[in-house]
């Protein structure tokens, strides 16, 4: 059977809507047209794709596997037909997708949104949350997005651009502040909340602890830096977060920055992208916008030595 691109669009709509009627409405086609497309797809895959369960339709196991591939294929098809020899930000209609952590969205995400809004009114931004699964399979996932902002030390062998410099800090609940000076024994005995903790994913800050003989007792893992205050306040738990994130903690969070007997590593926030985007004029423009947005943010980290996290004093300087 000869297939055409329209069938790919029909397949995606059918898999997303799980209804011939709704898929037809979504595409602005008649129901008989979508029914005919579904019949052709069923013959091609030798599978029902949609099967009735009670009053609704569900995807077959094959259709479940196809759903992600279909969305990715359409995304790349759209990119192919949108590719131009030049990128005119003032007139183009385009959407870019970036993956950020929760503490990057209110800072870098906002600065980028404001900059793009002023310079490219037809450009839309889609922000996705950075997950552990994304980090573990970044090379594959970066095929379907325009970039991810992560600290140095997590990814390798991908094109990148350093954006901001920060530092890691240890935080605790003010009511259960460690003794001063804090000892290695206490750091080992306390329970920890560690964002993005996984045997195969380790921030440089965690490796720094281990270099000093500290293996944290991980009680809670999370993919949200901004959830850390809620998970440690009123407890004896400790955590590691970017110093910049402490500025986003509530004024009455009850969280303090702990004075460790050694410095944690510098944190370098970096934009990473797939090599396929390297020479795309639109993507080159996007990278310039991200770098410019990062340039307007304060790069300083709070001094934090035993102070309330929200009272930390910024350093001066800028980064790009």
Maximum average pLDDT range among 7-11, 35-39, 228-232: 228-232
Q: Scanning the structure block, which residue is given the tokens 């870098």?
A: 108
Report the Cα–Cα distance between both ends of the chain, in Å, rounded: 53
Which pLDDT value is given to residue 302? 46
| The pLDDT of residue 294 is above 50 | yes
What's the chain's average pLDDT? 84
How large a percentage of the chain has pLDDT more than 70? 85
Q: What is the C-alpha to C-alpha distance for residues 56 and 238, in angstroms, rounded to an integer?
A: 48
Q: What is the DSSP letter of 295?
A: H
Rounded average pLDDT over 20-36? 87
Lowest mean pLDDT among 143-152, 223-232, 284-293: 143-152
Contact 190, 237 (CB under 8 A): yes
Contact 218, 150 (CB under 8 A): no
Number of alpha carbons in the 13 Å side-chain half-sphere of residue 218: 14
What CATH number should be reported for the domain whose range is 89-320? 3.40.190.290
Residue 227 pLDDT class (50, 70, 90 cuts): very high
What pTM does this model have? 0.70
Number of alpha carbons in the 13 Å side-chain half-sphere of residue 258: 27
Q: Strand, coil or helix: what is 104?
A: coil
Residue 258 pLDDT class (50, 70, 90 cuts): very high
Q: What is the C-alpha to C-alpha distance for residues 277 and 266, in angstroms, rounded to an integer?
A: 28
Residue 304 pLDDT class (50, 70, 90 cuts): very low
Rounded average pLDDT over 204-219? 89
Domain chopping of the chain, boundaries: 5-82, 89-320
Residue 78 pLDDT class (50, 70, 90 cuts): low
Q: What is the DSSP letter of 233?
A: T
Q: Which fold would CATH assign to domain 5-82?
A: Arc Repressor Mutant, subunit A (1.10.10)
| The pLDDT of residue 172 is above 70 | yes
Neighbours of 24 (CB within 10 A): 21
| The pLDDT of residue 246 is above 90 | yes
Contact 149, 163 (CB under 8 A): yes
Cis peptide leading into residue 312 (ω within 30°)? no
């Amino acid at each position: 059977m000869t297939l055409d691109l329209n069938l790919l669009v029909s397949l995606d709509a059918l898999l997303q809507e799980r209804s011939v009627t709704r898929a037809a409405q979504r595409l602005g086609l008649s129901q008989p047209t979508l029914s005919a497309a579904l019949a052709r797809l069923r013959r091609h895959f030798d599978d029902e794709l949609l099967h009735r369960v009670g009053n609704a339709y569900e995807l077959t196991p094959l259709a479940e596997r196809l759903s992600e591939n279909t969305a990715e294929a359409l995304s790349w098809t759209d990119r192919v037909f949108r590719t131009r020899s030049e990128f005119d930000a003032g007139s183009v209609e385009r959407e870019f997708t970036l993956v950020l952590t929760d503490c990057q969205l209110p800072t870098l995400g906002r600065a980028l949104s404001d900059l793009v809004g002023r310079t490219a009114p037809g450009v839309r931004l889609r922000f996705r949350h950075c997950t552990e699964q994304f980090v573990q399979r970044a090379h594959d996932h970066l095929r379907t997005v325009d970039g991810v902002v992560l600290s140095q030390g997590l990814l390798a062998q991908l094109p990148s651009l350093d954006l901001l410099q920060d530092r890691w800090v240890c935080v605790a609940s003010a009511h259960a502040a460690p003794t001063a000076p804090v000892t290695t024994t206490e750091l080992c005995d306390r329970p920890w909340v560690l964002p993005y903790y996984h045997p195969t994913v380790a921030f440089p800050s965690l490796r720094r602890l281990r270099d000093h003989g500290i293996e944290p007792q991980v009680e809670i893992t999370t993919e949200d830096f901004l959830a850390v205050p809620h998970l440690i306040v009123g407890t004896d738990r400790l955590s590691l977060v970017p110093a910049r994130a402490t500025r986003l903690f509530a004024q009455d969070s009850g969280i303090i920055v702990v004075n460790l007997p050694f410095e944690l590593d510098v944190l370098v926030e970096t934009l990473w992208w797939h090599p396929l985007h390297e020479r795309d004029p639109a993507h080159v423009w996007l990278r310039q916008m991200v770098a410019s947005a990062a340039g307007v943010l304060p790069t300083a980290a709070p001094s934090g030595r035993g102070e309330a996290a929200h009272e930390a004093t910024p350093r001066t300087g800028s980064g790009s």
